[in-house]
Each structure stands twice: as C-alpha cells, then as structure tokens.
Structure 1
Amino acid sequence: MDDSRALFVQIAEQIESSILDGTLPEGERAPSTNELAAFHRINPATAAKGINLLVDRGILIKRRGLGMFVAEGAPESLRSERRQRFAETYLDPMLTEAHAVGLSASEVMEMIRTRGHR
C-alpha cells in the first residue's frame, strides 16, 4: 500500500488490475470486504468504500447473499477508461508542448517511433 493515496482508492485499483490481467475474470466472485480488510489489515468500512467505487462504475455487481462479482464487459470498460485517462494525462500535455515548440504531429509520431525501438 502507498501512503500517498487513500486506501480505498488503492483497494479499487488492485481489483481493477486483477480484472485487467485476467486473474479476476468476468463473472467471477470478487474478494469480500472482510477478506480485503483481513488481508490488508484495514477497517472493513475502508475496504467496502473501495468496492463500492467499482460497484458505482458498473465494474462489480452485487448478487444478494452471494457477494460481489465482476460484471460482464468490465475488462473492456476498464481498458477504455484507462486509455482515456492515458490520453488526458500524457498525450494532451505532450501535444500542447509539441505545438509550443513547433513540432508537427508527424514529427512527434516519428520521435515516438524512434524512441520506441530502444
């Protein structure tokens, strides 16, 4: 766990990563609040807050009496969210700076291709 971010956010991100890497596939039961709390030695309310972030986004679904399960389409939904976040976090600022220094999109692409072969 990382002290720079809220624990419940880190819990949600760990579950997201498990979904994306396939260790927690669609339709599978997600770890319970109590399992997460015991594993990370945190308050169950904190673990529940992380799980609820994913429920609110439709990544996990509640099955009454059974627990939380990975929603159908969750991996692609997460990939789409992360691609968008990647573009906003990295590409937009890079393209703004490229424009400021007079680089065209094709010049930027060539720089990426060249550096990608290192």
Structure 2
Amino acid sequence: MSKLLDHDKPIYMQIREKIEDQIVNDQLKEGEQAPSTNQLVTFYKINHATVSKGVNQLVEEGILFKKRGIGMFVAEGAKKKLIQKRKDAFVDDYIVGLVHEAEKLGISEREIVEFIQKIKGSEQA
C-alpha cells in the first residue's frame, strides 16, 4: 500500500479506493482478512473516524464484512462487484463524453476503434 495520500480528495475515499484496488488487483482475495482500522490508522497516521468512514462504506456495499472480535474480511463476489462498478463508472466518466464529442466531429465508430488501437500500439512499443 502506498503511503501517499492526495490532498485534493477526501481521505476516507482514498482509503476506500486503496482497499478496492487491493481487491481488484488480487492483493486481497475473497475470504481473506482486510487490514484492520487500527492498522490503517497507524500506517497512514490519520484519524480513526476517517478510516472507519471509508471502511464502513465498503461494509455497507457488501465488499467487506465484519466478524465480531476477529476483523474485516473480503466478501464473496467483492471483486466482481467492484469491477462492474468501475466499468459502469468508466462508461459514465469517459465513454459517454467521447461518443458525444465524436458525433459532433463526425467521427465514426470505426475511426474511434482505430484511434484506440493506434494508441494501444504505441504504448506497447
């Protein structure tokens, strides 16, 4: 886990996203114990309430679950839920605007695909 936190985004959201990233990247697998609130407080040197807010959101969404007296664990299906949520956000944040702008400029779907392939090809070189 990177210790660097971005000052432009609420800290509880960053904590939440770091845990989500660990799940999506298979650093935390379903059924495994997630870092405790106390571990996160110590690691990031931040307020307990801030960490709890981010972790509790993940519990409310069914990404993490609590075992009383033991800790937090990654729920079954958490990775799949997170990937779908991020795909939906990707469409909303990037694709919708791209399609609207392409329509304004008269860019065809084929041309968009070619642009993407060109960019992906140049990144692999």
TM-score after normalising by structure 1: 0.95
Q: Give the aligned partner of residue 9 of structure 1.
A: 13
The RMSD of aligned alpha carbons is 0.9
Shift of 1:113: 1.7
Say which SS state the counterpart of residue 107 (structure 2) adopts. coil
Aligned equivalents of 2:53, 2:115: Cα separation in 1:
42
Q: Which amino acid aligns with 1:113?
A: Q
What is the CA deviation profile of residues 1-35 of structure 1, one whole-angstrom value per residue up to 9, with x for unaligned ones?
01001110000001011111111111011111111
Match of 1:38 among 31, 37, 42: 42
Structure 2, gaps ≥5 residues long:
none
Over 3 Å off, 4+ runs: none
Shift of 1:115: 2.4
Q: Give the aligned partner of residue 47 of structure 1.
A: 51
Q: Give the aligned partner of residue 83 of structure 1.
A: 87
Match of 1:68 among 62, 66, 72: 72
Aligned equivalents of 1:62, 1:102: Cα separation in 2:
52
Q: How many residues align?
A: 118
TM-score after normalising by structure 2: 0.90
Aligned equivalents of 1:41, 1:99: Cα separation in 2:
48
Q: Give the aligned partner of residue 99 of structure 1.
A: 103
Of all paired residues, the percent bearing the same amino acid is 44
Q: Which amino acid aligns with 1:18?
A: Q
